[in-house]
Amino acid sequence: MTDRIGSAELGVVATLRRGVAVSPQIVQGIGWTLLLAVLAAGGRVVIPIAVQRTIDDGILAAGGPDAGRVAELAGLAALALLVAGVCSSAVNVRLVRRTEAGLATLRVRAFRHVHDLATLTQNTERRGSLVSRVTSDVDTISLFVQWGGIMLLVSTLQVIVATALMVSFSWQLTVVVWVCFVPLFLVMRYGQRWVAARYTVVRERMGGMLAAISEAVVGAETVRAYGIAARTGARVDRSIEALRMAQGRAQVLVATTFSSGTLMSNLALAVVVVVGARLGVAGELSAGQVVAFLFLVQLFTGPVQMATEILNELQNAVAGWRRVLGVIETTVEVVEAPDAVASPRGHAQVSLRGVRFAYPGGPDVLHGVDLDLPARAKVAVVGQTGSGKTTIAKLVTRLMDPTEGAVLLDGADLRALTLTSLGDRVVLVPQEGFLFDGTVLDNAAYGLRGPGGDPRRRVLEAFAELGLTDWLADLPHGVDTPVGQRGEALSAGERQLVAIARAYLAAPDLLVLDEATSAVDPATEVRIARALDSLTAGRSTITIAHRLSTAEASDLVVVVHAGRVAEVGTHAELAAADGVYARMHAAWVAQTR
Amino acid sequence: MPPSTALTGSRTRRSAQLVWRGMATSPRTYVLAVLSSALFGAATVAVSRAVGWATDSVVVPAIAGDQDAQGRIWLAGLVLAAVAVTLTIGVWCRRVWAGWGYVDVGAAHRRRLADAYLRLPVSWHRAHPAGQLLAHASADAEAATGVFNPLPFALGVVVMLVVATVMLVAIDPWLALAALAIIPAMVVVNLVFQRHMSPAAMTAQRLRGEVADVAHESFEAALLVKSLGTADREEERFAQRTDDLRAAAVRVGSIRAIFDPVIDLLPNLGTLLVLGVGAWRAASEAVGTGDVVTAAYLLTVLSVPVRSFGWVLGELPRGLVGYDRIAQVVDCPDALAPGRSALPAAASGATGSRGIAARFDGVGLDVPDAASNAPVTLLDSVTLDVPAGSTVAVVGVTGAGKTTLVSLLARLMDPTRGRVLLDGTDVRDLAPGQVPAHVALVAQSTFVFEDTVRANVTLADEQTGSNDADADDGDDTEAGRYTDDAVWAALRLARLDEVVADLPGGLDAPLGERGANLSGGQRQRLAIARALVRAPRLLVLDDATSAVDPRIEQEILRGFAGAGTTVVMVAYRMSSVALADVVVHLDGGRVVDVGTHEQLLARDAGYRAIALAYEEETRRREELR
């Protein structure tokens, strides 16, 4: 069974621990950071203390207001604020530097792991979802650490320090303040849950809106050709309106939870005045201390209001972290054996021994294939759609491993060879040749390996050798023509030409072409086939072909039918026999003339 | 076309335009938002005044032993509670309306974009990658709206500052001066902060996009990377961008790390100044304790609101960039303006065929080259007659311009020179909906909508019969026009009926995003069914039958010919080409020769090279043996 890429099944603490293990930079020097954070939090209570002292020792001092004493106090307080501010800066800088370094490591590791996964595993996920694992999922962690993490640290310490100061004034009033904030905390807690639910809806609708717009954009040609702009426009409008409603509803709920925070903290002021004044009358508190409490209440509002939001962010960050770790922890199916050896370069001779293959959860698509393909031969594999031709190509290039049996290269099981040496020797050209956003030159040169001359010259030579100089000259900028995203500035056939040049430049011992010229005109196809024939003389090629001209030109034809090898032989032998191939070939001849 | 969307003039002027146009999107909401924000501003000042009053006339005297003051303790509580409720109402209303306003502006941007995407021609779409167009609807729309979230808040803060100034000056000018002295400093620090922060944040945002681009491209190329074993190289490329992003994120974090404490520090220093000046004024008995408390408290609650100016000013540069990107699309004049004419119903011309007679009259097409902006000629001096009811094959080497030529018939774009005529009418003069009503184009690759099989064949709206009165693209010709029998018949002809019958739900079976649950050949046959069900008068097949069995292809083509449909097809299969009445050989965007298959074989060497490629190759090989 092929693993899907899931999320790591870890609890919050385990996720954090595993995350830190992958990115150890995050906790470097955390002790100093914490110490600095305590000092920074101390700065938060300077003002309430200064207010209390100013009122009690300054304005209400026995013998009238004492301005000199107040100026002295203010100077001291300013100094304390400066120290706390510097500490606060240091904490922020340290946290940011270390987490960003750690997250960069995490990003790159996850990225690499995606490439290491088997093709089948890669294909279980939409590409966009894989991308989000190394982008937005990591961003949520970064966002949390930069904003939430610092807040969480400073706010927690702030509440602790404020409480300690309040208790030193009056434990009764401290209890009152805490009690005032309990309902707020509960409102926040549940409110936040609803807010999170509404934001989930917003994200879904955002996805729906983008899907609707992408149909209008990617399907632009179909929309024009069939005159269905109104229909498509109506769908897009509906999705935009759905998003707008979801966003608006979420905003109303956020407004409600936020203003309940405003209400509670201001009601707490009223309660503090009433209870504080009564305690003052009873002689428990000075006037300055009651007023100081009014300022201290402010220190609670922020953290309590933020607490649930921060915890929510923490949940998001942990979920994101889990998803990224999930990638790293997905089993690599096509894995290099620990005792793998390099496969020496030379003539590639491929054999299949009792090979069976089934896609995960599906029936066998190959039912025990035995084949010996001679070295230095041009082999054509033909068969109906769904016969298993492409599966053979993927097994020979080790994009996947057989469920039973073995694929041998020069007598060695592919699974016993290092992936690098296999990649050097065997190259697959798939039907849809992917091109990077760059020039024709960039894309063809992507196949070049190792040093060896000027890439430009080598690429131009390759196109010349493939007989494609004329085609190249017709491009607006020749070899420097930009191909656009995914090569979309070129036609499907032209993309295939670049892909073949690229594979040719990689100079493998075995070239596997999977319908690599299916969208090219007959004259060009024949020209390329002929060029490859002479250029790859002495090397092995396996061609999966729809057009049987390739089979006519090959040394050996393998006919695959319903997951089994039906016929093997030269074109002449098979065409003369009364079998599957003879029928296929007759139909092919009929449609070409 | 609406007047230009783009913002013009100086930066300040453009910012003002951005804000004004946004608020004009939903004026009522913004009036309410600003009013409630003003209420919030006034109530905030009232809270600080109430705290000061409670200190002066209740707390201090009561603790000093004043009996009257002790009796007023409950009153103080009630007053503070009443102010708290007012403040809360202000906050709630402000946030709700500001929120709706923000959401409305975003939706308006997205609607304008969607309209433009549907209006702009295929050539424009080819020049603009889909990812970028989606980013306009998500990231850019968000950037352009970002400023509207804190905007009502900031406008309310202006009211707050005015009320606070009046109140403090009334108490004592010196105390007012001490309290307000810090506000300009706060505004300046916020401005400096935003000036440093905006470019840094934008750089980080841009790099985040680049990291995503690299990841996206690299993962799409996963098969290639595996096949060529270039994972190391890809990792290096990604690691480099990631490191750039890391550095940019650290820079953003460091700027914030330095400014945040400073921004926190300023109101606190202001409070200390108020305490000092307050004590001095209290010594000369100009103010009471409560007045000092009022001023000091006001400063502690003012710091967040004053920051809202910074948010607004900080969002503006990003907003302008996002808005400009959207405006570029919305203002793009590149639409194919429709005409007013209609095609004659059918059976025109001497032949009495229901097919359309098409004519290319000196057609040339240039497109600007992305790199140099110099025009690149795709088609040149193409003059060609396609008689009604005939079948025409277009043959040429890869890159000859075949797709471009045939797509002009469905008016996917307009020629730069010359005219394309359908039954004698220039396609540019045809009313909206006329071309799709009579012409069906089946492209090389099939676009499948995330919808049911039925909807993908009929392409009709879900709500059959409920046409929008203002629909401008010939909605009346499609909705509910095709019966299930017609759909099945089309699927049968395209040889897709068995596949669909096996799907759970049959015609109602949902096809996944981009038709993921169909194979390439099945998607192609779906597209053919889409064309068949319309019974078009002109059918354009752009290499659209390569995955169809040759015998079935011929049946389909003969069916159309029998019905009098005009067929123009791009094809490589000689068996299909041989069925055509006329063959056109295209090379380098020019017509090389026109004639029957046999005529071209006889006199056109280039055509022979393509048509006989396989045969010649076979012969050559046999001679070698």
Q: Do A297 and A401 reside in the same domain of the chain?
A: no
Higher pLDDT among residues B620 and B277, named by residue: B277
Q: Do B111 and B160 reside in the same domain of the chain?
A: yes
On the question of pLDDT at B552 being above 90, the answer is: no
pLDDT at B337: 78
A339 inside domain: no
**Residue of chain A minimizing CA distance to B225:** A115
User: What is the secondary structure of B40-65 as a DSSP string?
Assistant: HHHHHHHHHHHHHHHIIIIIHHHHHT
Number of domain units in chain A: 2
A334 inside domain: no
A356 inside domain: yes
- Interface contact flag, B574 A433, Cβ < 8 Å: no
On the question of pLDDT at B464 being above 70, the answer is: no
Residue-averaged pLDDT of chain B? 85
**Up-side HSE of residue B47: CA atoms within 13 Å toward CB?**
31
Mean pLDDT within A153-163: 86
On the question of pLDDT at B465 being above 50, the answer is: no
Query: A581-585, B455-459, B463-467 — which is least confidently predicted?
Result: B463-467
Mean pLDDT within B145-162: 88
- Interface contact flag, B398 A494, Cβ < 8 Å: yes
Judge contact between A312 and A144, C-beta under 8 A: no
**Domain with B266 in it:** 11-330
3-state DSSP call for residue A149? helix
> Is residue A440 very low, low, confident or very high in pLDDT (cuts 50, 70, 90)?
very high
B255 inside domain: yes
> Is residue A78 very low, low, confident or very high in pLDDT (cuts 50, 70, 90)?
very high
Q: For the stretch A284-316, what's the b/e string if a residue is b when 16 or more beta carbons lie within 10 angstroms of its beta carbon?
A: bbbbbbbbbbbbbbbbbbbbbbbbbbbebbbeb
Residue B376 is part of a domain; what is its CATH number? 3.40.50.300
Q: Do B451 and B314 reside in the same domain of the chain?
A: no
- Interface contact flag, A213 B376, Cβ < 8 Å: no
B470 inside domain: no
Q: In this structure, what DSSP letter does residue A400 have?
A: S
- Interface contact flag, B449 A287, Cβ < 8 Å: no
pLDDT at A128: 65
- Angstrom CA distances, B161 to A207, B41, B45, B571, stand at 42, 8, 9, 75
pLDDT at A190: 83
pLDDT in tens, A391-403: 898 899 998 899 9
Residue from the list A227, A236, A422 with its beta carbon closest to the beta carbon of B437: A227
User: What is the secondary structure of A223-276 as a DSSP string?
Assistant: HHHTT-HHHHHHHHHHHHHHHHHHHHHHHHHHHHHHHHHHHHHHHHHHHHHHHH
Calculate the CA A258 to chain-centre distance. Answer: 33
Neighbours of A100 (CB within 10 A): 26
A198 inside domain: yes
Most confident of A85-99, A289-303, B440-454, B551-565: A85-99
Judge contact between A188 and A261, C-beta under 8 A: yes
Secondary structure tally for chain B: helices H, strands E: 24, 10
On the question of pLDDT at B154 being above 70, the answer is: yes
**Residue of chain A minimizing CA distance to B111:** A237
Most confident of A1-5, B341-345, B507-511: B507-511
Closest by CA position to B572, among listed B331, B405, B394, B307: B394
Neighbours of B7 (CB within 10 A): 17
The whole-angstrom distance between B513's CA and the closest CA on chain A is: 9
* Residue tagged 């935003």 (tokens): B194
On the question of pLDDT at B349 being above 50, the answer is: no
Q: Do A293 and A162 reside in the same domain of the chain?
A: yes
Residue-averaged pLDDT of chain A? 85
Element (H, E) at A6: none
On the question of pLDDT at B593 being above 90, the answer is: yes
Residues constituting chain B:
625
Q: Which amino acid belongs to residue A477?
A: H
Q: Which residues of A touch B398 (CB under 8 A)?
A: 471, 491, 493-494, 497, 519-521, 524
The whole-angstrom distance between B324's CA and the closest CA on chain A is: 20
On the question of pLDDT at B472 being above 60, the answer is: no
Q: Is B533 on the interface with A (CB under 8 A)?
A: no
> Is residue B534 very low, low, confident or very high in pLDDT (cuts 50, 70, 90)?
confident
Q: How far apart are CA A480 and CA A465, in angstroms?
A: 18
Q: Is B126 on the interface with A (CB under 8 A)?
A: yes
Q: Do A444 and A520 reside in the same domain of the chain?
A: yes
State percent of chain A over pLDDT 70. Answer: 97
Q: Do A313 and A437 reside in the same domain of the chain?
A: no
Q: Is B321 on the interface with A (CB under 8 A)?
A: no
Mean pLDDT within B547-562: 79
Q: Do B318 and B362 reside in the same domain of the chain?
A: no
Q: Do B97 and B142 reside in the same domain of the chain?
A: yes
Higher pLDDT among residues A108 and B209, named by residue: A108
Q: In this structure, what DSSP letter does residue B266 have?
A: H
**Residue of chain B minimizing CA distance to A512:** B227
Q: How far apart are CA B415 and CA B363, in angstroms?
A: 6
- Angstrom CA distances, B607 to A519, B93, B433, B533, stand at 18, 75, 37, 34
Q: Do A360 and A311 reside in the same domain of the chain?
A: no
pLDDT in tens, B392-411: 999 988 878 898 899 999 88
- Interface contact flag, B617 A262, Cβ < 8 Å: no
pLDDT in tens, A485-500: 778 778 778 888 899 8
- Interface contact flag, B370 A114, Cβ < 8 Å: no
pLDDT at A337: 83
> Is residue B474 very low, low, confident or very high in pLDDT (cuts 50, 70, 90)?
very low
pLDDT at B352: 56
Q: Is B5 on the interface with A (CB under 8 A)?
A: no
Q: Is B316 on the interface with A (CB under 8 A)?
A: no
Residue A457 is part of a domain; what is its CATH number? 3.40.50.300
Q: Do A99 and A151 reside in the same domain of the chain?
A: yes
> Is residue A2 very low, low, confident or very high in pLDDT (cuts 50, 70, 90)?
very low
> Is residue A246 very low, low, confident or very high in pLDDT (cuts 50, 70, 90)?
very high
Residue A84 is part of a domain; what is its CATH number? 1.20.1560.10
**Residue of chain B minimizing CA distance to A504:** B228
Q: Is B92 on the interface with A (CB under 8 A)?
A: yes
pLDDT at B296: 87
Higher pLDDT among residues B45 and A521, named by residue: B45
Phi, then psi, of B465 in degrees rounded to 5: 85, -15
Q: Which residues of B touch A82 (CB under 8 A)?
A: 265
The whole-angstrom distance between A251's CA and the closest CA on chain B is: 5
Q: Do B450 and B558 reside in the same domain of the chain?
A: yes
Q: Do B268 and B374 reside in the same domain of the chain?
A: no
Q: Do A283 and A375 reside in the same domain of the chain?
A: no
Judge contact between A74 and B275, C-beta under 8 A: yes
Q: Do B146 and B247 reside in the same domain of the chain?
A: yes
Residue from the list B271, B372, B614 with its beta carbon closest to the beta carbon of A549: B614
**Domain with A63 in it:** 7-328
Q: Which residues of A touch B103 (CB under 8 A)?
A: 244, 247-248, 251
Q: Which residues of B touch A522 (CB under 8 A)?
A: 572, 610-611, 613-614
pLDDT at B468: 39
Q: Which residues pair with B540 in a beta bridge?
A: B441, B568
A461 inside domain: yes
The whole-angstrom distance between B166's CA and the closest CA on chain A is: 23
On the question of pLDDT at B135 being above 60, the answer is: yes
- Interface contact flag, A590 B575, Cβ < 8 Å: yes
Neighbours of A532 (CB within 10 A): 26
B498 inside domain: yes
Q: Is B163 on the interface with A (CB under 8 A)?
A: no
Q: Which residues of A touch B410 (CB under 8 A)?
A: 224-225
pLDDT at A593: 64
**Residue of chain B minimizing CA distance to A554:** B621
A584 inside domain: yes
Q: Do B509 and B555 reside in the same domain of the chain?
A: yes
Q: Do B308 and B370 reside in the same domain of the chain?
A: no
Stretch 429-448 of chain B: residues touching chain A, C-beta under 8 Å = 432-433, 435-437, 439-441, 443-447
pLDDT at A8: 65
Higher pLDDT among residues A379 and B503, named by residue: A379
Q: Do B584 and B483 reside in the same domain of the chain?
A: yes
Q: Which residues of A touch B264 (CB under 8 A)?
A: 85, 88
Q: Which amino acid belongs to residue A199?
A: Y
pLDDT in tens, B101-132: 999 999 999 999 999 999 888 878 877 777 77
Residue from the list A40, A225, A530 with its beta carbon closest to the beta carbon of B412: A225
The whole-angstrom distance between B9's CA and the closest CA on chain A is: 31
- Interface contact flag, A108 B262, Cβ < 8 Å: no
A1 inside domain: no
Phi, then psi, of A409 in degrees rounded to 5: -115, 120
> Is residue A127 very low, low, confident or very high in pLDDT (cuts 50, 70, 90)?
low
3-state DSSP call for residue B482? coil
Q: Which residues of B touch A180 (CB under 8 A)?
A: none
Residue from the list B100, B122, B371 with its beta carbon closest to the beta carbon of A248: B100
User: What is the secondary structure of B310-366 as a DSSP string?
Assistant: HHHHHHHHHHHHHHHHHHHHHT--------SB----S--TTT--SSPPEEEEEEEEE
pLDDT in tens, B170-216: 999 999 999 888 888 888 888 888 788 878 888 887 888 888 888 88
Residue B324 is part of a domain; what is its CATH number? 1.20.1560.10
pLDDT at B592: 92
Q: Do B46 and B172 reside in the same domain of the chain?
A: yes
Q: Do A470 and A544 reside in the same domain of the chain?
A: yes
Mean pLDDT within B68-83: 92
Neighbours of B166 (CB within 10 A): 11
Q: Which residues of B touch A270 (CB under 8 A)?
A: 76-78, 80-81, 84
Q: Do A312 and A453 reside in the same domain of the chain?
A: no
State percent of chain A over pLDDT 90. Answer: 23
Q: In this structure, what DSSP letter does residue A406 have?
A: E
Q: Is B77 on the interface with A (CB under 8 A)?
A: yes
> Exposed/middle/buried for B345, CB within 10 Å: 0-12, 13-18, 19+?
exposed
- Among the residues of A282-349, which ranges form H helices? 287-329
> Is residue A70 very low, low, confident or very high in pLDDT (cuts 50, 70, 90)?
confident
**Residue of chain A minimizing CA distance to B58:** A277
Residues 6+ apart with CB under 8 A from B103: A244, A247, A248, A251
Judge contact between B474 and B439, C-beta under 8 A: no
**Residue of chain B minimizing CA distance to A260:** B88
Q: Which residues of B touch A108 (CB under 8 A)?
A: 235, 238-239, 242
Q: Do B318 and B376 reside in the same domain of the chain?
A: no
- Interface contact flag, A236 B114, Cβ < 8 Å: yes
Check the CA dihedral B104-B110-B115-B116 and report its sign. Answer: positive
Number of domain units in chain B: 2
Q: Do A126 and A256 reside in the same domain of the chain?
A: yes
The whole-angstrom distance between B53's CA and the closest CA on chain A is: 11
> Exposed/middle/buried for B103, CB within 10 Å: 0-12, 13-18, 19+?
buried
Q: Which residues pair with A318 in a beta bridge?
A: none
The whole-angstrom distance between B270's CA and the closest CA on chain A is: 10
B452 inside domain: yes
B276 inside domain: yes
Q: How far apart are CA B74 and CA B68, in angstroms?
A: 12
Q: Do A440 and A504 reside in the same domain of the chain?
A: yes
Q: Which residues pair with A526 in a beta bridge?
A: none
On the question of pLDDT at B511 being above 60, the answer is: yes
Element (H, E) at B104: helix B73-119
pLDDT at B397: 86
**Residue of chain B minimizing CA distance to A251:** B99
- Interface contact flag, B254 A489, Cβ < 8 Å: no
pLDDT in tens, A163-214: 998 899 889 999 988 888 888 888 877 887 888 888 888 888 888 888 888 8
Q: Do A583 and A437 reside in the same domain of the chain?
A: yes
pLDDT at A55: 86
- Angstrom CA distances, A586 to A543, A592, B181, B617, stand at 20, 10, 95, 16
pLDDT at B509: 87
